[in-house]
């Protein structure tokens, strides 16, 4: 017998602003997360506060912003105009309140709807906002969006500006942690886009003189560039581009100072404009892939009242530059076709280098076209009864699906490990790809091997990354191997594969290592899973010295029932991060090339550390 729920006036509720944010945080900051991913909520909170300070700078007020991370608490101090003292409470706690509705004050800002800072307030156990203005200070403290203290205006000698401190709520974000490399990259992007602005992070200074030219200079070394970086500046647009030696395409795109990591209308137009301009200049109908293969480029535009596809503003949806301006596509097409064409005419040595790069790509593409066609057919045929891939129902490129950000694929080795994960996984968002053994070392090989090697061909097909990561099927690609010597070797071989052929997967922060517990400590009342010796000692102190200790030796030894704890809401992922100051080619040569005295010295110097970790 079915039960019919009562539907009356009493069942209709109106949530106040803070209740709604805390009940539906995904609407405001995307996913929550614990800090392992660059798009986790704790970084979005930081970005929302920083955006307001950046907008002040863009309007000509305050050339310095200080950011301090003290364990889990963030403090941001700018030296702009400072919030009008009588409006501090409203700005922090009333939805749809802010100066950005006045387009004369903030013509091309990132935050437009007055929501961001309120979301930070509601999702923090401690939120303190101070406004300094003309020798006076107004300070208000909140907790979970609730007013704690509203202090009266006091005299101050502080310079004008705003200071906000917040502590994200652990009941929502779990045992979160900030990865400083992610914060550092965010700050670098801000200064690249705002030449002359100085940011400090725990005392470290970030500054850029040459904008996007500096961004590309840091992310692709001079040795890896086919020609000097082309840098083009215009009203409301800046572009830097070159070709490297890596496979695929790599783009950094921005709108009004916001890193649009998922691109949007401006990036689509830019990629189209590169192809059209090159074809027109060389008077030859080159294949688009030959033109764009190995491109490394950055584009930043300013749009009046931009429309983003989500509150986290990672993808531009705007069709037009402004109410009276051209379309985004036409604006970028016109700028690129004129300025890039002029540059190539003035720099024939660069034009020749680009032509040689296109011809090299064309030659390699034709050389593997036959193998590629057979490999695609094989991958398509195998996918019908593919035991390697146990797919999930929701994928990263599924539009309008709030769970698409959770889509994950575990790459495992061995039947027992893949079996445990398969039985434990969430079939909606978690897929499993099984390796049959150690994969091939791809160092020094060409992309031809991706199609000739069945395992790599099927992995490429499963991820859907042959044409780049625009249609990547999983947000998180998780290498899941044992923490022994063989497992570590498999990790290294897989990371080599991605670095060599699909570096954008790593640079866009999609590749992770699954962390599994080393110990299970339990007594009759409680079970603790410990990921380190320190956690083990803490568990023994909590549960007693007589507690049962189990040492996990491999993924296959962990039962499916237990595995659910490790790949569920408490999953621990370690992101694979590339140091932008290092050359990928040099790094691969050091770790995966022939044995060298340098590598032997490195192993000897680090052996004690590794032994300490294992022991």
* pLDDT tens sequence across 521-552: 999 889 888 888 888 999 999 998 889 998 88
User: Taking 80 as the threshold, does the pLDDT of residue 61 lie above it?
Assistant: yes
What CATH class is the domain 17-207?
alpha beta
State how far Cα 544 lies from the chain centre: 41
**Domain 212-364 CATH (choose: 3.40.1160.10, 3.30.230.10, 1.10.10.410, 3.90.1150.10):** 3.30.230.10
Partners of 142 in the β-ladder:
127, 147
Is residue 108 within a helix (H) or strand (E), and if so which, with residue range?
none
- Predicted TM-score of the model (pTM): 0.78
Contact 575, 509 (CB under 8 A): yes
Tens digit of each residue's pLDDT (9 = 90 or more) over 427-469 = 999 999 998 878 888 888 888 888 888 888 889 889 998 888 8
The token pair that represents 304 in the structure block: 């009046």
pLDDT band for position 247 (cuts 50, 70, 90): confident
User: Taking 70 as the threshold, does the pLDDT of residue 584 lie above it?
Assistant: no
State how far Cα 429 lies from the chain centre: 19
The token pair that represents 84 in the structure block: 């009008």
Contact 590, 579 (CB under 8 A): no
Is residue 119 within a helix (H) or strand (E), and if so which, with residue range?
helix 116-122
Provide mean pLDDT across the span 342-371.
90
CATH architecture, range 386-516+553-582: 3-Layer(aba) Sandwich (3.40)
CA distance 609 to 615: 10
Provide mean pLDDT across the span 586-607.
63
Provide mean pLDDT across the span 90-109.
59
The token pair that represents 296 in the structure block: 């490394």
Contact partners, residue 315, CB within 8 Å, separation at least 6: 260, 262, 263, 264, 308, 309
Return the top range by mean pLDDT from 9-13, 40-44, 355-359, 604-608: 355-359
């Amino acid at each position: 017998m079915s039960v019919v729920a009562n539907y009356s006036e009493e069942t209709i509720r109106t949530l106040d602003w803070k209740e709604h944010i805390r009940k539906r945080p995904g609407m405001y900051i995307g996913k929550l997360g614990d800090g392992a991913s660059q798009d986790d909520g704790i970084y979005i909170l930081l970005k929302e506060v920083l955006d307001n300070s950046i907008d002040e700078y863009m309007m000509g007020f305050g050339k310095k912003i200080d950011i301090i991370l003290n364990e889990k608490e963030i403090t941001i101090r700018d030296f702009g105009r400072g919030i009008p003292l009588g409006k501090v409470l409203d700005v922090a706690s009333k939805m749809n309140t802010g100066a950005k509705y006045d387009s004369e004050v903030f013509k091309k800002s990132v935050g437009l709807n007055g929501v961001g800072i309120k979301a930070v307030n509601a999702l923090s156990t401690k939120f303190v906002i101070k406004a300094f203005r003309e020798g006076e200070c107004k300070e208000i403290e909140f907790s979970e969006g609730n007013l704690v203290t509203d202090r009266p205006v006091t005299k101050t000698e502080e310079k004008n500006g705003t200071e906000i401190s917040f502590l994200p709520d652990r009941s929502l974000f779990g045992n979160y942690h900030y990865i400083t490399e992610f914060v550092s990259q965010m700050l670098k992007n801000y200064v690249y886009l705002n030449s002359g602005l100085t940011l400090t992070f725990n005392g470290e200074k970030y500054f850029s003189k040459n904008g996007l030219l500096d961004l590309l200079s840091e992310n692709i070394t001079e040795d890896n560039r086919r020609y000097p970086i082309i840098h083009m500046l215009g009203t409301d647009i800046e572009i830097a581009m070159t070709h490297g030696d890596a496979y695929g395409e790599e783009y950094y795109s921005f709108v009004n100072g916001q890193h649009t990591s998922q691109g949007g209308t401006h990036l689509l137009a830019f990629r189209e404009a590169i192809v059209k301009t090159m074809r027109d200049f060389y008077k030859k109908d080159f294949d688009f892939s030959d033109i764009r293969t190995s491109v490394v480029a950055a584009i930043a535009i300013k749009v009046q009242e931009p429309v983003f596809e989500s509150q986290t503003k990672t993808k531009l949806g705007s069709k037009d530059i402004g109410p009276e301006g051209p379309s985004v596509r036409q604006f970028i097409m016109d700028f690129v076709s004129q300025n890039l064409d002029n540059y190539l005419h003035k720099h024939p040595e660069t034009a020749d280098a680009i032509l040689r790069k296109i011809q090299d790509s064309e030659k390699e593409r034709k050389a593997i076209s036959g193998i590629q066609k057979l490999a695609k057919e094989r991958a398509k045929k195998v996918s019908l009864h593919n035991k390697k891939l146990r797919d999930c129902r929701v994928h990263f490129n599924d539009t309008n699906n709030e769970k698409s950000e959770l889509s994950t694929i575990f790459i495992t080795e061995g039947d027992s490990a893949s079996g445990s994960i398969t039985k434990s996984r969430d079939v909606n968002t978690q897929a499993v790809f099984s390796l049959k053994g150690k994969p091939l070392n791809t160092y020094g090989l060409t992309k031809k091997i991706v199609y000739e090697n069945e395992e790599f061909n099927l992995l490429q097909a499963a991820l859907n990354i042959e044409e780049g990561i625009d249609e990547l099927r999983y947000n998180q690609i998780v290498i899941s191997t044992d923490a022994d010597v063989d497992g570590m070797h498999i990790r290294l071989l897989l990371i080599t594969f991605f670095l060599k052929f699909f570096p954008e997967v790593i640079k866009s922060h999609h590749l992770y290592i699954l962390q599994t517990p080393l110990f299970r400590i339990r007594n009759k009342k409680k079970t603790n899973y410990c990921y380190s010796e320190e956690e083990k000692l803490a568990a023994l102190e909590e549960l007693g010295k007589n507690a049962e200790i189990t040492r996990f030796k491999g993924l296959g030894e962990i039962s499916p029932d237990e595995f659910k704890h490790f790949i569920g809401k408490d999953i621990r992922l370690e992101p694979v991060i590339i140091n932008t100051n290092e050359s990928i080619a040099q790094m691969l040569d050091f770790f995966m090339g022939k044995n060298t005295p340098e590598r032997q010295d490195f192993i000897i110097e680090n052996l004690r550390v590794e032994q300490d970790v294992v022991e």
